[in-house]
Structure 1
Amino acid sequence: MRSLFLAALTTALLALSPVHAGEAKPFATAKTIDLLTLLKPPPANDSAQTRAELAEVLSIQVTRTPEMEAQAQADVVENVWRFANVMGPNFKTEALPAFSAFFDRIVATEGEVVDPAKDSWKRPRPHQYSPLVKPAVKLSNSGAYPSGHTTVGTLMGVVLSNMVPEKRNEIMARAWAYGENRIIGGIHFRADVEAGRIAGTVIAARIMEQPEFQVEYAAAKAELRKGLGL
């Protein structure tokens, strides 16, 4: 009976859910989760902290390997499939339609919550702060603080690890690396990434309280665990 209910629920959700993350309905916006009140402001451009963070970026720039650069470039993509290396061979888009649509909404939520804070604080990216910085990843000129990639990586990691607690350590290590790769790629400062981790954790906690989230989460979790043979 439970399996029939979940199957019907999955079908209904797929009928309502858009395919592409850019069309997905977010679970929250900046009006419901205001990062301007939840995060401290970024370090000032002329502060000792920003100078130290710039030194870190420049140090990594001369020590990063081609393999590190390749990983940072791959992590420019913002979707849950970047966790495939820890989830196993059955973790595929075509096999998990309800799960995929659910995480499209997770990704859309990050943009809706984080982008207004970026626009308000307008912290320069490392390459905007210093011409010595040569990013190894695609350039972005949006505000640096907080890091959107780190936010969504953390958010996805928290939700995914709740679905598959057996892999929690590996999933959260992957989420951590997702943020570190923004520094390795030379596109973010340390404080941007640290703020992104806080933002992602807060967003996860807030949206998990919503009945709408809980319904879609249950269907996505059931589909994922079945697909992984758990």
Structure 2
Amino acid sequence: MRTILIAAVTAVAFAFSPVYADEAKPFATAKTVDLLTLLKPPPANDSAQTKAELAEVLTLQVTRTPEMEAQAQADVVEDVWRFADVMGPKFKQEALPAFSSFFDRVVATEGAVVDPAKDVWKRPRPHQYSPLVKPAVKLSNSGAYPSGHTTVGTLMGIVLSNMVPEKRAEIMARAWAYGENRIIGGIHFRADIEGGRIAGSVIAYNLMSQPEFQAEYAVAKAELRKALGL
């Protein structure tokens, strides 16, 4: 009976996964994970903390290397394939259709949860706060806090490291670098990154208790581990 049930869940997951290829359905929204009640508000624009965070951005602006800029620019892309450098050569999208569709939904979840909080707090980006800031990455004028890129990088890192605990240290180090690159790129302040890491962790914890998430997670994990030879 258990085998039949698992097979049925797997079949359903495979049957529906292509639907999310173009417009993925989030696993959670701001109604299920309310960051306004989970995070403290961002620092005030005229606070000593914001001024210190601006100084960090400006310091990085004159000390970052071309290699650091290139990495920050590459990490503008929000998808799990940014972890390929630590996952190895078998980590390829074309070989992992169910895994890919699953993480499309994980990425969509970040926007559904984070964007409403950004709209309420409306923290300015560094380049909006000071004309001295010259970002090395594509400009964004959405609220800065919490960082969506950092949130999704942390979220993806936690979920991916749960699938492949053998590489947990490398995966989470890469997730942390994904957030740091938003400061290096001059598009976020330090508090935005810290808020994003908390948000990503909270979302991951919430998702792991959801039956729908668990069903697709199991299929994606099995496909990934098989592809990696684990």
Range into which the TM-score falls when normalised by the shorter chain: over 0.9
Instruction: Report deviation, 1:16.
Output: 1.0
Question: How far apart in 1 are the matches of 2:168 and 2:36?
Answer: 30
Letter in 2 for 1:111: G
In the other structure, the counterpart of 1:163 is 163
**Matched residue, 1:202:** 202
Greater shift after overlay, 112-121 or 9-18? 9-18
Distance 1:12 1:118, change over 3 A: same
1:142 and 2:142 aligned? yes
SS in 2 for 1:142: coil
Deviation at 1:13, TM superposition (A): 1.9
Contact 2:20-2:105 at 8 Å conserved across structures: no
| Residue 52 (str. 1) matches residue 56 (str. 2) | no
Q: Who is 1:125 aligned against?
A: 125
What is the match of residue 111 of structure 2? 111
CA contact (8 A) 1:21 1:107 kept: no
- The amino acid that maps onto 1:184 is I
| Cα offset, 1:6, TM superposition | 6.6
- Following superposition, the deviation at residue 17 of structure 1 comes to 2.1
Q: 1:116 to 1:22 in 2, by over 3 A?
A: farther
Give the aligned residue type for 1:211: P
Q: TM-score, normalised by structure 2?
A: 0.95
TM-score, normalising length: structure 1: 0.95
Q: Which runs of 5+ in 1 are unaligned?
A: none
What is the identity percentage for the equivalent residue pairs of Structure 1 and Structure 2? 84
Count of aligned positions: 230
Any idea what the Cα deviations from partners look like across 1:59-109, whole Å, max 9, x if unmatched?
000000000000000000000000000000010111001100110010000
Q: What pairs up with 1:1-230 in 2 under 5 angstroms?
A: 9-18=9-18, 23-230=23-230
- For the 8 Å contact 1:29–1:109, the answer to whether it is kept is yes
Q: Secondary structure at the match of 2:112?
A: helix
Helix, strand or coil at the partner of 1:23: coil
Amino acid at match of 1:210: Q
